[in-house]
Every structure is written in structure tokens, then in C-alpha cells.
Structure 1
Amino acid sequence: MTALDTAVAALMRRVAQEAILPRYQTLAEHEVIAKAANDMVTIADTEAEALLAEGLAAILPEAAIVGEEAVHADPALSSRLDNGLCWIIDPVDGTNNFAAGKPPFGIILALSDGGETQSGWIYDPLQDRLCIAHKSKGAFVNGERVSARTTGLTPPIAAISTVFLDPAQRAAVQARIAPYYTLVDIPRCAAEQYPRLVLGVNDISVFERTLPWDHAAGVLFVNEAGGMAARPDGTPYRTDQHGQKGLFAASSPALFDQFVKHSSAE
């Protein structure tokens, strides 16, 4: 691991031990707040984000910081993603799972530069699994280089989130996708979903919302492992594409292309 990886990993583990794991399965009712439908925040999210922001500012002071909860409070902060170096923080990804006292959940951090993700870190504190990716330098799990592998199953396994789809979009998934894939439930946790694509658990994932704290690190991880994650038209995912929806991820470029063909068929 690089010196940056060592510092970031130590920070993520410390924050997990101090702010996240002590709250796991011990949250009081008043420590869980609904931000919107199907979207929660807990005291662990806010405490962890504060600690992560403080630690990342010390590691790389020249970088701006964009945290999920900070942007929820002040949406204008997302403009920091447009220019220069920027840390991106998801303090507890999979908050709904965490609030329910069940896995998976994790911490996701990314470092972007002018809207392009340069590095990503995805940490599962229950498994102590750390996924790291750096642009043009490969993907790693707990220090070991990894290459994305498919499930090898026919039909391929597709994990498709329908939570934020309208009824017409859901119907399209059933008509266009279901005949060609085995559809499985999503873990409602990008910190788990992206590793599944690399580690041979799922072949395809589809996301409607593509917020940078959820996806910047995972997209880089899949691509650096030799899979393919991009917009449905094949263009790269960027962290400065504010409000843009739609993202496909696959264990291989061939599976990506195949899925695009099926999903766009009339």
C-alpha cells in the first residue's frame, strides 16, 4: 500500500471503531432520522463524517471536502466537486441496513480531481475488508491485487435496484431484462455491491441514483479490476455530473455490452 493508503486505511478503521461499531445494534429511536423516503441518517453517520473530514483534511490539506451529510444540509457544497482535488465521504453507506441492525454497511471514500475519480477506498468494518483502487494502478482487496471475475453462470446474475424507479421503468426491467438474467435482490449498500461484481458474486448491477459518495470509489474499483462501470451509453462516470441518473456496472466489458443491448431493445 502507498503512504496515502496507509493513512486513509488507519483513519477508516479508527472511525469505525470510535463512531460506527459502538452504535451498531444499539441505536436509540431518537438517533435515527428519516431524511426522505427510503433514506435515513443516524448519529453514527454524522459523527463518523465529522471525524473523517477532520482526518482527511490533515492527510491532504489542499483538497476540498464533500460529505454526504454536509451536502444534505447545504446542497451548494457539491460545487466543490467541479474543480481541483476533492475528498468525497460516505460515512456509513447502507445506513438503512445499519439502522436496522443488520449488514452490510461500510465507509466509502474517494479522491477526485476536476470531476474525475483518482482513488477510492471501500471499507467493510464487520469483515475488515478494505478495497482500494487508484486510476491506472489496479484494484486491491486487503493489499492483494484483484481481477474481476464473472459468476460463470447462465443466465448471468443481475442485481438491479428498483427502489427509485417509477412503475414504467420497473415494467421495462421485467420485460427487457428478466428473460435474460437471474434477478437478485440488491444489498442496498454500494460498499457491498461493487465488491460483489469483482469477487464473482454478481455479474451486473444497475443504479438509478448516482450520487458521488455512493459510486465514485466503486466505479473506479470495478474498472481498475477489469470490469466495466459507466453510464448506459458507455460514457465515463464523473463526480461533477450533478443530478445525472443511470449507471451500469458489470464484471466484464462483454457483459456490459450484452446488458446494454438487452436493456435498450424495444
Structure 2
Amino acid sequence: MSLHEEVSALLRTVAAQVVVPRFRALAGHEVTVKSAGEIVTIADREAEFRLHDGLATLGLGARIVGEEATERDPALLDDVGEGLVWLIDPLDGTANFAAGRAPFGMMIALVEDGSPVAGWMFDPLSGRLCHAARGLGATCDGAVVRARPTGAERLRAALGTHFLNPGLRERVHAHADRHLAVVPVPRCAAESYPRLVFGSDDVALFQRILPWDHAAGALFLTEAGGRITHWDGTRYRVGGRGIGVLAAASPGLWEQAADVLLSPAAGLIELDCLVS
């Protein structure tokens, strides 16, 4: 089998054996708080263990960095932008999953020197599999896909600002509401990026950019014809110094969104400068 087929089969197997059986069937002790505002379930941990072992058998010699392993050992993120690295998000949208609602997903990305070279986003409930390989395009369930705009009069923008301080969050949304049609975020990056490609949303903005949350989706979006950058306009890179990301279904839509969301009036550039 090809690498794509092997990783796809691994995702489907782990979803069927670990994730789906626990949906709406979690016991109280199987959901715990791992950090402020973040929870983890037994499905997250068991799925990551199985995915880790499966990727290790592929023989690429890549380091394997998983979300839950990194929670226990943050040093795993050291030099994540160097060399060949597998990134695992065993259950993206854990809060949704634990609450018994969709969307949630599973994501794997292969990254070389900070640049995503292959990515998989799997929806365990529908069986939808989004895949991209650098320079080879994007597919969904084997069919080639190209990103398309919503066609709405005002750009539909999903703003992942829930980690901003309340004052800045209010400022960003007040400014965005004057120019864009702000829509709810799915709280699941494995759903956010497909929405940009399939014409549900035009724009997505994220403040927090943990590597496993965005590498697969960023590649899927760009290979489908969209654009994603850090807030300062530099290209998205795993392990880089840029903060935040702005993603859109096309370069033109990115420019329109940047004029609003990355303008001084929105306040995010001030944050970018302070953090940088």
C-alpha cells in the first residue's frame, strides 16, 4: 500500500475500535481536566497510543509528536520545525466529543523542516477523509477538490478568538461585525479547514496554533487553492516564530479579510508586535 493508504487505514481502524464506541458512552472518570479550559478523554489517550504505534511501523524514521504525549512532556515540541516529524491530534474537538455532539475529528500530518508534506483529516462519524500531499493537490474521499467561496454578499468569517483576553476579543469582533458576516466556529480544526474548501466559510482566523491543530488543514487548504499565513503575512510554518493564522478559500479572499482583520483598527497587529 502507499503511504496515503496505510495512514488512512490506520485512522479508520483506530476510529472504529477506539473513538466511535466511546461517543456518547463516556463514564465520568473517563473525562478529566488537563489544563485550564482543556479536557481530555480516555478516547484521546488510547487513540494517540494506537496511532503512534501504527505510524512507528511505517519505517520513515520520523519523530512522532502527539498532543497528549506533549501534555506530559512539553520538551517533545523542541525543534518540532526541524527534520521529519509526524504530528498527531488523536481527537480534535474533544469538548464536542465529550458533550456528545459533532463535529470532532482525527488528524495526522507529516512535516519536514516545518513545512507540511502530507496531511489527513478524518471524520469518524461520517467517514469523510480529507487528504493532501505537497505539490500533488487535495482530495476528499479520493476525489480531487478545489476551494470555492461561499458566494455570500459579505465574507463568512469564523473567528477563533476564544483565547484572546476579553477586551481585545470584543474589539476584534466589533470591528469584524462591521465588515464581515461573522459565523460560529465549530471548535474543531478538522472541520474548520474543510468548511473553507467546501464553500461553507470564506475565512477562518485562529489565535492559538498548536502544530497538530493546523498542519494537516493548512496543507489541505493550500493544495486546494486557498491561502494561509501568520498574522504578519509570513507563510505558515510549524515551529516558526509567527503567531496566529489567517486562512481563506482563495488568495483574493485572504486579501479582503486581511484588510479587515489585520488592520490596526482590529488590534491584532498590536498583539503580534507585543508577542514577537
Q: In the alignment, which residue of structure 1 is the partner of 2:206?
A: 207
Q: Could you state the TM-score of these two structures normalised by the residue count of structure 1?
A: 0.96
Output the amino acid matched with 1:259: A
Is residue 65 of structure 1 aligned with residue 64 of structure 2? Answer: yes
Any idea what the Cα deviations from partners look like across 1:190-234, whole Å, max 9, x if unmatched?
000000000000001110100010000001111110011111222
Distance in structure 2 (CA, Å) of the matches to 1:152 and 1:26: 39
1:72 to partner: Cα distance: 0.5
Specify the alignment match of 2:171 in structure 1.
Answer: 172
Are the aligned partners of 1:219 and 1:230 in contact in 2 as well (CA < 8 Å)?
Answer: no
State whether structure 2 residue 33 is matched by structure 1 residue 27: no
Q: Distance in 2 between matches of 1:54 and 1:141?
A: 25
Partner of 2:148: 149
TM-score normalised to the size of structure 2? 0.93
* CA distance in structure 2 between the partners assigned to 1:124 and 1:248 by the alignment: 23
Instruction: Quote the residue 1:126 is aligned against.
Output: 125
Alpha-carbon deviations, 1:44-94, whole Å to 9, x = none?
000000000000011134111000000000000112523211100000000
The aligned residue for residue 49 of structure 2 is: 50
Partner of 2:271: none
Q: Which residue of 2 aligns with 1:246?
A: 244
SS at match of 1:128: coil
CA distance in 1, matches of 2:101, 2:204: 22
Following superposition, the deviation at residue 180 of structure 1 comes to: 1.0
Which moves more between the two structures, 205-214 or 231-240?
231-240
Cα distance, 1:252 vs structure 2? 0.9
Instruction: Give distance in 1, aligned partners of 2:85 and 2:106.
Output: 17
**Cα distance between partner residues in 1 of 2:45 and 2:137:** 31
What one-letter code is carried by the residue in structure 1 that aligns with 2:191?
Answer: E
Q: Which residue of 2 aligns with 1:81?
A: 80
Letter matched to residue 182 of structure 1: A
In the alignment, the residues of structure 1 paired with residue 123 and residue 106 of structure 2 have an alpha-carbon distance, to the nearest angstrom, of 7
Mapped partners of 1:178, 1:36: distance in 2 = 31
Equivalent-residue separation in structure 2 for 1:248 and 1:90 (angstroms): 20
Q: Deviations over 1:123-146 (max 9, x none)?
A: 001110000011111110000110
- Contact 1:119/1:217 (CA < 8 Å) preserved in 2? yes
Amino acid at match of 2:26: L
Aligned equivalents of 2:168, 2:240: Cα separation in 1: 22
Secondary structure at the counterpart of residue 167 of structure 2 = helix
Displacement over 4 Å in runs of 4+? none
- Bigger shift: 232-241 or 18-27? 232-241
- Give the CA deviation at 1:265: 4.1
Unmatched runs of 5 consecutive residues or more in structure 1: none
Structure 2: segments with no counterpart, 5+ residues: 266-276
Amino acid across the alignment from 2:216: A
Task: Name the aligned partner's letter for residue 232 of structure 2.
Answer: D
SS of 1:180 mapped into structure 2: coil
SS of match in other structure, 1:223:
helix
Given candidates 254, 257, 275, the residue that maps to 1:256 is 254
Secondary structure class of the residue paired with 1:257: helix
Per the alignment, do residues 19 and 118 of structure 1 end up closer, same or farther by CA in structure 2, a change over 3 Å counting? Answer: same
Does the aligned pair in 1 maintain the 2:231–2:243 contact within 8 Å? no
Whole-Å separation in 1 of the counterparts to 2:264 and 2:252 = 17
CA distance, structure 2, for counterparts of residue 30 and residue 102 of structure 1: 19
Q: Which residue of structure 2 lines up, in the alignment, with residue 92 of structure 1?
A: 91
The one-letter amino acid paired with 2:248 is A
Task: Answer yes or no: is the 8 Å Cα contact 2:138–2:144 preserved in 1.
Answer: yes
Q: Secondary structure at the match of 1:59?
A: coil
Q: Which moved more, 1:131-140 or 1:166-175?
A: 166-175
Q: Report the RMSD for the aligned CA atoms in angstroms.
A: 1.3
Matched positions, count: 264
In structure 2, distance between residues paired with 1:191 and 1:152: 22
